[in-house]
Amino acid sequence: MAAVAGVGLAAPAAAGDPPRHEPIEVVAQGLDDPFGLSFRNGKFYAAESATGEISGIVPGGRGPVVRVAGFTAPAGVDRTGEGLLVVTGEGEGPGASTLYLSKPGVGPRPLADLAAHELAENPDGQRQFGDDGAPLDALSNPFAVLGGRGHGTAYAYVADGGANAVLAVDRHGTVSTFFVPETVTAGACEGRPNNDPEHTGCDSVPTGLAWGPDGNLYVSGLVGEAPGQGRVYVLDPVSGELVDEITGLDAPTGVAVGDDGEVYVSELLEGLPPGEPGPGFDPSSVGRIVRVDTDGSRSIAQVPMPVGLRWADGALHSTAWSVAGAFLGQGGLGQVVRVDSSAFTAEG
């Protein structure tokens, strides 16, 4: 199944020629449902949700090497100068909805309890529990983490899809609400039932974080998985004010920004047919990456089930087959791929 992506290796270049790349090249494989993706000092780091591991990947090396393990469903990872920042998703028991810091030679330590912040502050203002005391929806479900760049007091930013908010965490573990996108009430979201009858429409559900060359913070929003209602919020990294907004996307799960300001958005389940797929269904047709150029034009690259995106060494990189284990019941299918500019074709 891992070979279904249909990638290959470029022919050797002649001496002195610039390196040539296939449209999509496998950087690493054998991963188990890789979600978050980070890069620093020539090495990638992938959060493997199915196994609770963070694996390091050296392009051209032998393969993924587990760097840290023992997490509960790690969703996001970012390698900073101090160590690995990791966020875990929702779940029951210890270790869920937590931001961890792991330094070289030292095991991971909890830095912030994100679920506690949701319970105490309720950033989106929606009802959290029904009359029977049961949660009406996911309360805290962190999906991505990004190290700060000295802006204000933010040591790290977290996209918490359950809280419908971007959170800021200082180096002491104090959590504050940084940005709360408005509930979307237009288009396919108009009048849509929500867990809270006072807030009809589609929750924003932040999923991805990236720095842009303009110094702004980019946040992808799933927006209730409503077709065409997904978006990318461009934020001032100090004030959290909305600078710009990219709309018309299909349930984005990740975001990256290129050197020239082009924005890349992963759409994990685009192309998944409703209902049970038939016997001839090709799972490699599910998922794509959308590139939005600075002039607003859009193009598409077919990448199977992408989640985490990262611009690194002058090129876009993405996780692929990121939910293959959950959907196909087979482990080890996840990949990290390099997506060349030639992989993108005009949206039509």
Let me know: does 47 contact 28? Beta carbons within 8 Å: no
Q: What's the chain's Rg over C-alpha atoms?
A: 19
Residue 348: the pLDDT is 63
Query: What is the three-class DSSP state of 342?
Result: helix
Using H for helix, E for strand and C for coil, what is the string for 178-228? EECCCCECCHHHCCCCCCCCCCCCECCCEEEEEECCCCCEEEEECHHHCCC
Tell me the C-alpha distance between 316 and 303, whole Å: 12
**Sheet of strand 298-301, all strands in order from the earlier edge strand to the far edge:** 252-257, 263-267, 288-292, 298-301, 345-346
Residue 16: the pLDDT is 52
Let me know: does 139 contact 162? Beta carbons within 8 Å: yes
Residue 3: the pLDDT is 35
Minimal CA–CA distance to 164: which of 107, 117, 213? 117
Tell me the C-alpha distance between 77 and 147, whole Å: 9
Residue 50: the pLDDT is 95
Q: What is the pLDDT along the chain (348 residues), one digit of tens a residue?
A: 333 333 333 333 344 555 567 899 999 999 999 999 999 999 999 999 999 999 999 998 777 999 999 999 999 999 999 999 999 999 766 789 999 999 988 889 999 999 999 999 999 998 888 888 888 777 899 999 999 987 677 999 999 999 999 999 999 999 999 999 999 998 999 989 888 778 889 999 999 999 999 999 999 999 989 999 999 999 999 999 999 999 999 999 999 999 999 999 999 999 998 877 778 888 999 999 999 999 999 999 999 999 999 999 999 999 999 999 988 888 999 999 999 999 999 976
Tell me the C-alpha distance between 2 and 116, whole Å: 39
Residue type, 270: E
Domains along the sequence of the chain with CATH: 107-272+283-346 (2.40.10.500)
Minimal CA–CA distance to 255: which of 76, 98, 11, 92? 76
Handedness of CA 189, 159, 341, 216 (dihedral sign): positive
H-only helix segments in the chain: 114-121, 324-328
- CB count within 10 Å of CB 337 equals 27
Residue 63: the pLDDT is 77
